[in-house]
Amino acid sequence: MPSNPIISGEFPDPSVIEVDGVFYACGTSNDWAPLYPIYSSVDLMHWELVSYVFPEAPSWTSAGFWAPELFYRNGTFFCYYTAKDKSGVSRIGVATSTSIAAGFEDNGPIISWGKESIDAFVNVVDDQLYISWKAYGLDADKPIQILGSRLSANGLALEGEVFPILTADANNWERGGIEGQSIIQKNDFLYLYYSGAACCGGECDYKLGVARSRTMLGPWEKFPENPIMSDYGSWKCPGHGTPIAHEEQWYYIYHAYPSEGFPFMGRAALIDPFYWDDQSSWPYFKAKEGDSSASPYSPLDFHDSFEGDHLKKEWRWNGTEYSPQMEISKGRLQLSALDAAPTSPVVLAIIPENPSYHISVTLPTQGESFKGLCLYGTASNNLGLGVKSGNLVVYQVLQGDYQNIPLSDNYVLEGASTELRIQVEMGHIAEFYLKTNHGWTSLKHPSGDVIRIKGDFLEFWQWGVKPGLFVQGSGVAEFYDFSLSYTPSSEPAN
């Protein structure tokens, strides 16, 4: 029995392929760059981050970087991906590469359908390439459908007429929404795994269903006992994944929210075996609610002292239309907000693997820019602890309204550098600390109460809360050291 999660932290919409004995998984990045992280594995259980599809957003895109779909044929890797164009319409593009670790070359959009086309999947039937996708999600006068088309031999264009595959049912568990499809062939049938209902956020009720047909053109029959997977154990809202065979066993790799810290952690990647009923030829999980074990993994601490000349690959930044201005040299990260909007911070973030952790940083006490540690939901909802012109600042941004949190008067920043810490519980509750000669000291209100922000407002429907570094305003900020640790810290002095 596999142990879950296989990729902890946030990794939605996993697409998985096998090439020459190596498995590659790619997932949604949302509006965090670099775009579309890629992991590799030789056994489906142990995964390593190796690269990203794009270091910067393709020129035709603006936001909404979802559901990458990996495909491989004749020495070429393909990534079919969803992104919003400059007008805000979600379209499907394709990028190619002959070396998955070296990045991809964009070939532009190939599918635009109504007000939304997302979640591409490519499969081969009798040596013919087919692509399927979700359509009409934002078209009020049309039911949501999964559509299909033949693909050209080079994988870069549609051929022939587009045909319907499945239509969402508003009167059952699908609640009028279906997406995240993937197709395999076994014996005389094509099997289409799909997800239904609401995918994301605190109100999600995602589930997994299956349908089958003898041809891509149908008719497709939905399994009468759908859904075949729903909430179970310590996982919520499972779905949108890829079936794949390994050592004569079929597995489904998919995403789900951990119930601990829900929904602030985002969706992790899980794996479960599935089987085939000898009588009906339908697939099934041994338990309808899933086979996964509870989370036995130990999250890995992260530390960066900014040695060398480039960021560690785990860092993400909150912008797809710009790259942060940065330079790393001699144990210092210099980060500038010059290309960002004046009122928005530039954020370098790490995806947490557990909802209980603390982050810390060492940085200069002086400087023009406002810089420090943050918990980031969106530009309109975030909180942090920083230093500005030699002064200590705790802040929150709630629905776009910036607020300084009043501090007791007895915090004096001494010396050329300052050490800060934020302790996080349940993925969204924050307490703040300053390193003094007496150790870590908790920050308090003028009343003497410890400052504790319950960041319910950090929730965003599509991604989890991310801790990291921020800089805002003019000038260049320096950071000397950053760490994220899951080990309980020693009791702070007060």
Structure tokens at 435: 């390193």
pLDDT per residue as tens digits for the range 451-475: 999 999 999 999 999 999 999 887 7
Amino acid 414: pLDDT: 85
289 is catalytic: no
Spatial separation of the C-alpha atoms in residues 329 and 331, rounded to whole Å: 6
- Spatial distance between the Cα atoms of 407 and 135, rounded to a whole number of angstroms: 51
- Between 73-77, 138-142, 170-174, the lowest mean confidence (pLDDT) is in 138-142
Give the pLDDT score at 236: 96
Provide CB contacts within 8 A for 389, sequence distance 6+.
Answer: 366, 367, 368
Amino acid 325: pLDDT? 86
Neighbours of 254 (CB within 10 A): 30
Preceding amide of 164 cis, omega within 30? no
Judged on CB neighbours under 10 Å (0-12, 13-18, 19+), 305 is middle
Predicted pLDDT at 409: 82
User: Catalytic pick from 69, 174, 179, 272?
Assistant: 179
Catalytic pick among 10, 13, 106, 119 = 13
pLDDT cut 90: percent of the chain above it:
85
When pLDDT is cut at 50, 70 and 90, the band that residue 345 belongs to is confident
Q: Judging by DSSP bridges, how do beta strands 189-196 and 439-442 pair with one another?
A: unpaired
Q: For 63-67, 165-169, 387-391, which range has the lowest pLDDT when averaged over its residues?
A: 387-391
Query: Predicted confidence band at 95 (pLDDT cuts at 50, 70, 90)?
Result: very high
A 10 A CB-CB count for 391 gives 12
Query: Hey, what are 251's tokens?
Result: 């597995």
Alpha carbons 237 and 258: distance in angstroms, whole number = 9
Record the tokens describing residue 464, joined without a space.
């989890």
**pLDDT score of 382:** 96
pLDDT for the residue numbered 110: 98
Tokens in use for 427?
């993925």
Smallest CA-to-CA distance from 181 within 105, 122, 227, 233 is with 122
Nearest of 168, 240, 237, 171 to residue 204 by alpha carbon = 237
- SS3 of 101, please? helix
pLDDT reported for residue 321: 63
pLDDT in tens, 186-205: 999 999 999 999 999 999 99
Domains in the chain (CATH in brackets) are: 15-284 (2.115.10.20), 302-485 (2.60.120.200)
Q: Which of 259, 205, 237, 269 is nearest to 426 (CA)?
A: 259
> What are the CA-CA distances from residue 393 to residues 69, 240, 406, 460 (Å)?
43, 41, 9, 25
Non-local CB neighbours of 311 within 8 Å, separated by 6+ positions = 304, 326, 328, 333, 348
Considering only 163-172, 309-318, 422-431, which range has the smallest mean pLDDT? 309-318
**Structure tokens that stand for 332 in this block:** 């210092």
pLDDT surpasses 80 at 126: yes
pLDDT at position 244: 97
**Whole-number mean pLDDT of the chain?**
93
248 catalytic per annotation: no
- The whole-number pLDDT of residue 292 equals 59
State how far the alpha carbon of 110 is from the alpha carbons of 65, 67, 159, 212, 281, in Å: 15, 15, 11, 26, 35
How far is C-alpha 433 from the geometric centre of its chain's CA atoms?
A: 29
- Structure-block tokens of residue 181: 């499809």
Report whether pLDDT(245) > 70: yes
Rg for the chain (alpha carbons), in Å?
A: 24
Tokens of 104: 């991809």
Which tens digits make up the pLDDT trace of 277-299?
999 999 999 866 666 554 456 89
Amino acid 489: pLDDT? 63
pLDDT at 261: 96
Element (H, E) at 150: strand 145-151
Convert the pLDDT of each residue in 407-446 to its tens digit.
998 788 989 999 999 999 999 999 999 999 889 999 999 9
| Tens digit of each residue's pLDDT (9 = 90 or more) over 14-33 | 999 999 999 999 999 999 99
Looking at residue 256, the DSSP 8-state letter turns out to be: E
Kindly tell me if the per-residue pLDDT of 172 is higher than 60.
yes
- Please name which of 385, 464, 378 lies closest in space to residue 427, comparing C-alpha atoms: 464
- Identify the pLDDT of residue 493: 52
CA 108 vs CA 84, 91, 94, 151, 251: distances in Å: 12, 10, 6, 15, 32
Question: How large is the average pLDDT for residues 155-163?
Answer: 97
Looking at the DSSP assignment, which residues form a beta bridge with residue 189? 186
